[in-house]
Amino acid sequence: MAIATVPLTLALLLLALCLLPAQPAYIAYNTTPSIVPGKINVHLVPHSHDDVGWLKTVDQYYVGANNSIRGACVQNVLDSVISALLDDKNRKFIYVEVAFFQRWWRQQSDAMKIKVKELVDSGQLEFINGGMCMHDEATPHYIDLIDQTTLGHQFIKKEFGQIPRVGWQIDPFGHSAVQAYLLGAELGFDSLFFARIDYQDRAKRLKDKTLEVIWRGSKSLGSSSQIFTGIFPRHYDPPDGFVFEINDVSPPVQDDVLLFDYNVQERVDDFVAAALAQANVTRTNHIMWLMGTDFRYQYANSWFRQMDKFIHYVNQDGRVHALYSTPTIYTDAKYTANEEWPLKFDDFFPYADHPNAYWTGYFTSRPAFKGYVRAMSAYFLAARQLEFFKGRTSSGPNTDALADALAIAQHHDAVSGTQRQHVAADYALRISIGYLEAEKLVASSLSFLADSKVGMGEKKSTTNFQQCPLLNISHCPPSEAALQNGKRLVIVIYNPLGWQRNNVVRIPVSDENLIVQDSGGKIIDSQLLPVSNATLKLRSFYTKAYLGASPTESVKYWLVFSASVPSLGFSTYTVSAATQTGPHSFMSTVSSSRESPDATIEVGQGSLKLVYTADAGKLTQYVNTRNQVRANAEQSYSYYSGNDGTDKDPQASGAYVFRPNMTYPIKSDQKFI
């Protein structure tokens, strides 16, 4: 009988081949979104928080420039996210900052715009908040909050026919009841979400399961002012171990059986544990995971690939249920849960993230920039009204540039004063460019209205109006030069408010004998106040810095008079030289030579006067000659010395956190000049 033999080496080779696992087939991940009653539903919300300026300027963040400061490119985020959404109809993403999206949108082809509109229509891409930026809630004026949000919503409505339903203030440093009322209940939002509340408040709410509340922004308006509000259990990033930017350290799901590090069950267990932990501090069986943080999704597939796997394998496991979601879907699920939510009144201020770290420094950080934003906001309101009264033309000046600049200036790292210096300069430059354009509009509109005098006729304007943006340093060339050689100065004062105003007007002049007349020719009371040495020094220094040259005119006085201006209207006053014997402006007196260090300035008419030092502008006396009262006053200036941090407690005082190194301020008699 013949026996077949096989060489030993060949037998071992055949055995090894038999032991090798089969090549795994392509895995089609099931990510169909659904909500399962009776299970904990984990709503995965992909997002990227893109600051409209902070460490880098808004342009640098968008194009990815100056990456030595921060490797961030918003253009890459949007390109990458849109591509990933088009790859799988089940994926979702929310976007917030319209200032960035608007730029990206302008650069897209018509074919790409059609695809993006389909993503928006299907709910894959959803606009949340919808303002030009995520604004601060402590330092802006509420009108600015409304304006910047309106500007973003107008873009979304025009391009996509959508109106955002959810407020998303995840990063501002504390929260105002004004946000809950005006931009929550009044705007029609269904819900409002944020991350930053005091660490002690968060700890108590975690314990009591009161992170989600009904927030009433106004006690007097009751339930009409309330909105469902969610506070995140942690910051606005994912749970530990679930951050998947391409250079992050969270372990990915490895589901290829050929890999030595196959870890599907391990990662599913991690997911379930994190979900159960959050469910223990949240009411109902719905929890939200924020899958993203600052400037993430620059390579979106690194996130979506992992979330696809987690949804697929977690749902196969069955202990909890995961789905792609948005805050809107999450809010709808909460509404249908028939849960009774606790009520919240008042603000979420002040905010501290740990002991001795109250974020109240930003209330006063960069005060000059805060003042500039507020002044330009008021100017924008008036300019926009005048633009409407005159009528907008395609070729003429407009308010668009100022509107855009003021909108991004409301960002929580802009008007708050927490941005880098070069970023603050960039914000200010944008506002300045917008102001120069709006200034032309205001001049032409007032000229048009003053010349036509009746309604909205098409009469061509012949009057050339000039404005004085440097009045705060007593620099106004029209008022300084117009009264020479017997000329008259016409002053037009516009009131953008809905009620009559009576205000004191102050302009710098060089002449002494002046009269002020209203539009009917009636002489009204006026007063001349000597310009102090301190003001003249400021005028010389800042005029040279601003204009590059010293002022040519010699200013001696402030001409002051009371003006009455109708609502949404203007009044005209004329300043001219007075006759030697006729009425003229009342001259305030200076008690001694202006060059003397003891010089004082008396302010006031009749029996009541206030006495100030001429050099430093400090109040020294209150005088009532009618009652023979002369009371001395002492005015001093104080400051807190900031804590610079120690190894034991490194929290220093700065742009964000106000932390003095003592309880009481230090008094200082140092003069301004």
604-628 exposure pattern, b = at least 16 Cβ within 10 A, e = fewer: eeeeebebbbbbbbbeeeebeeeee
Q: Is the pLDDT of residue 454 over 70?
A: no
Most confident of the ranges 20-24, 139-143, 524-528, 645-649: 139-143
Residues facing 505 on adjacent strands: 561
User: Element (H or E) spanning 612, and its range?
Assistant: strand 608-613
Q: Which CATH number fits domain 471-587: 2.60.40.1180, 3.40.50.300, 1.25.50.10, 3.30.70.2740?
A: 2.60.40.1180
Residues facing 175 on adjacent strands: 348
Q: What is the DSSP letter of 185?
A: I
Half-sphere exposure of 53 (CA within 13 A, CB side): 33
Judged by average pLDDT, the poorest of 51-60, 433-442, 601-610 is 601-610
pLDDT of residue 579: 75
**Nearest-angstrom CA–CA distance, 174 and 193:** 12
Residues facing 215 on adjacent strands: 227, 344
pLDDT of residue 639: 86
Q: Is the pLDDT of residue 550 over 80?
A: no
pLDDT of residue 98: 98
**Confidence band for 27, pLDDT divided at 50, 70 and 90:** confident
Listed in order, strand segments (DSSP E) in 114-218 are 125-127, 166-168, 191-194, 212-216
Domain residue spans of the chain? 367-450, 471-587, 600-632, 637-666
Nearest to 527 by CA among 561, 498, 572: 561
Across the chain, what does the average pLDDT equal? Answer: 89
**Confidence band for 456, pLDDT divided at 50, 70 and 90:** very low
Q: Is the pLDDT of residue 652 over 60?
A: yes
Q: Which residue has the higher pLDDT, 184 or 136?
A: 136
CA distances from 639 to 10, 394, 457, 660, 670 (A): 89, 51, 56, 10, 11
CA distances from 660 to 75, 290, 424, 642, 664 (A): 41, 35, 25, 4, 9
**Confidence band for 523, pLDDT divided at 50, 70 and 90:** very high
Give the percent of the chain with pLDDT over 70: 90
Judged by average pLDDT, the poorest of 457-461, 502-506, 513-517, 599-603 is 457-461
Instruction: Please identify, in words, the CATH class of the domain defined by 367-450.
Output: mainly alpha
pLDDT of residue 171: 97
**Confidence band for 381, pLDDT divided at 50, 70 and 90:** very high
Q: What is the mean pLDDT of residues 144-158?
A: 97
Strands 41-46 and 321-324: parallel
pLDDT of residue 465: 84
pLDDT of residue 458: 46
**Nearest-angstrom CA–CA distance, 439 and 431:** 12
pLDDT of residue 367: 96
**Nearest-angstrom CA–CA distance, 181 and 260:** 55
Q: Which amino acid is at 469?
A: P
Q: Is the pLDDT of residue 173 over 50?
A: yes
**Nearest-angstrom CA–CA distance, 567 and 546:** 34
Q: Is the pLDDT of residue 370 over 50?
A: yes
pLDDT of residue 147: 97
Q: What is the mean pLDDT of residues 40-58?
A: 98
pLDDT of residue 672: 37
pLDDT of residue 594: 47
Q: Is the pLDDT of residue 363 over 50?
A: yes
Q: Which residue has the higher pLDDT, 98 or 548?
A: 98
**Nearest-angstrom CA–CA distance, 258 and 20:** 9
Judged by average pLDDT, the poorest of 249-263, 560-574, 584-598 is 584-598
Nearest to 315 by CA among 92, 26, 33: 33
pLDDT of residue 12: 45
Contact present, 418 and 477 (Cβ < 8 Å): no
**Nearest-angstrom CA–CA distance, 560 and 573:** 12
Give the percent of the chain with pLDDT over 90: 64
Burial environment of residue 237 by CB neighbours within 10 A (0 to 12, 13 to 18, 19 or more): buried
Q: Is the pLDDT of residue 584 over 80?
A: no
Strands 557-565 and 526-530: antiparallel
Q: Is the pLDDT of residue 8 over 70?
A: no
What six digits make up the tokens of 446? 């007032």
pLDDT of residue 580: 64
pLDDT of residue 93: 98
> Which pTM does this prediction carry?
0.88
- Tell me the pLDDT tens digit for each residue of 89-134: 999 999 999 999 999 999 999 999 999 999 999 999 999 999 999 9
Q: Which residue has the higher pLDDT, 464 or 314?
A: 314
Q: What is the mean pLDDT of residues 295-317?
A: 98
CB count in 10 Å sphere of residue 208: 10
pLDDT of residue 150: 96
Q: Is the pLDDT of residue 345 over 60?
A: yes
CA distances from 42 to 273, 360, 544 (A): 12, 35, 61
List Cβ<8 Å contacts ≥24 apart for 593-600. Answer: 594/530, 594/532, 594/533, 595/533, 599/533
Identical fold, 367-450 and 471-587: no
Q: Which amino acid is at 79?
A: D
Q: Which residue has the higher pLDDT, 361 or 628?
A: 361
**Nearest-angstrom CA–CA distance, 486 and 491:** 16
Q: Is the pLDDT of residue 413 over 80?
A: yes
